[in-house]
Amino acid sequence: MSLYRNQLPQFSQELFLADAGIETDLIFNHGIAIREFAAHTLLETDSGRKAVASYFRGFLALAQQLGTGFILDSQTWKAHLHWAKDLACSEAELRQANHDSIAFIANLRQEFSSRSKAIVLNGLIGPRGDAYAPEHQAAIEEAEAYHGRQLEWLAETEVDMVTATTFTQSEEAAGVIRAGKRVGLPVVVSFTVETDGRLPGGQPLAEAIEQVDQETDQGAAYFMVNCAHPDHFQHVLQEEAWAQRIRGLRCNASRKSHAELDQSESLDDGNPVEFAEQYVALRSRMPWLNVFGGCCGSDLRHVSQVARRLTAQESAAN
């Protein structure tokens, strides 16, 4: 049974942590191959399950130590039909992969159930196709029908919410939200931007959020920004209504563009201390932000720095 599907605890304004860049961390820092960059494939083996569990236990222990909530992600970013051919799997197998991933993180939540703060089970939804080079402009109705399949699979589990993460098209994001409404799942939209703070197609972040809200009657639970360095978008954030719809950040550790990262054969993990300082600065400008994790190139070091600085800031304010 879902614990928080009907009332997400993130709206309490308390601090929530998330994990970092699971794929880049496991591949580059731990030498673990991930088939087709699809993290759910790790759950097919005992060694893979142990690696994923160990990865998340570090973040859950951090949240427990600092007394924060935690958004616990499934490994389902690529567990949808677009990738079936690449993964050599059937629709039934993808449905089972979604179920297995939620069961896996539900067990991790139970392992840390003695903690006082909420652990929210979050089903990840990836875009249809290449996140950074969209193959075609998705219409809202098309996106609703396509992503609705995976959302139906996730709605059958005890997941609390879903996040459409690393999305680059406002119409596709709107389609996911509409599908979420249909199956009764709250949807968060996490856009990624290029080094100029715009979506890869050139749409300004403000316009994308306003368009999605208009087309879904403000149907998104909230918005996030992920898979971009703070330098890439902090200059576009304003004290306006659209920016107040953003509640979370999961930034890249590297300042490189998506194109540069795609060509890189080594990990650029940036500077964890500077990374945290930029998060603190952004929260000072946008005090309604309360969900913080990392993305490509970041790991437990980065999130630990962020968490310790933000909790210290809150303690000093109180």
Q: Are 298 and 251 in contact (CB under 8 A)?
A: yes
Task: Grade residue 135 by pLDDT with cuts at 50, 70 and 90.
Answer: low
**What percentage of residues in the chain have a pLDDT greater than 70?**
98
The structure tokens listed for 275 are: 């990374």
Per-residue pLDDT tens digits for 143-191: 999 999 999 999 999 999 999 999 999 999 999 999 999 999 999 999 9
For residue 47, pLDDT beyond 90:
yes
Q: What is the residue type of 183?
A: V
Closest of 122, 196, 134 to residue 171, by C-alpha: 134
Domains annotated for the chain, with CATH where assigned, are 15-317 (3.20.20.330)
User: Alpha helices, DSSP H only, in the chain?
Assistant: 22-24, 30, 46-66, 84-87, 91-111, 140-155, 170-183, 205-216, 230-233, 258-263, 272-285, 300-317
Q: Are 51 and 58 in contact (CB under 8 A)?
A: no
Which pLDDT score, from 0 to 100, does residue 132 have? 67
Which pLDDT score, from 0 to 100, does residue 136 have? 67
Per-residue pLDDT tens digits for 272-296: 999 999 999 999 999 999 999 999 9
DSSP per-residue letters across 221-273: SEEEEESS-HHHHGGG--SSTTGGGEEEEEE-S----HHHHHH-SS-----HH
Which pLDDT score, from 0 to 100, does residue 138 have? 83
Length of the chain as a residue count: 318
- Least confident range of 38-47, 58-67, 124-133, 184-193: 124-133
pLDDT, mean of residues 300-309: 98
Dihedral sign from CA coordinates of 222, 75, 166, 29: positive
For residue 317, pLDDT beyond 80:
no
- The whole-angstrom separation of Cα 67 and Cα 16 is 9
- The whole-angstrom separation of Cα 279 and Cα 35 is 32
**What percentage of residues in the chain have a pLDDT greater than 90?**
87
Per-residue pLDDT tens digits for 71-106: 999 999 999 999 999 999 999 999 999 999 999 999
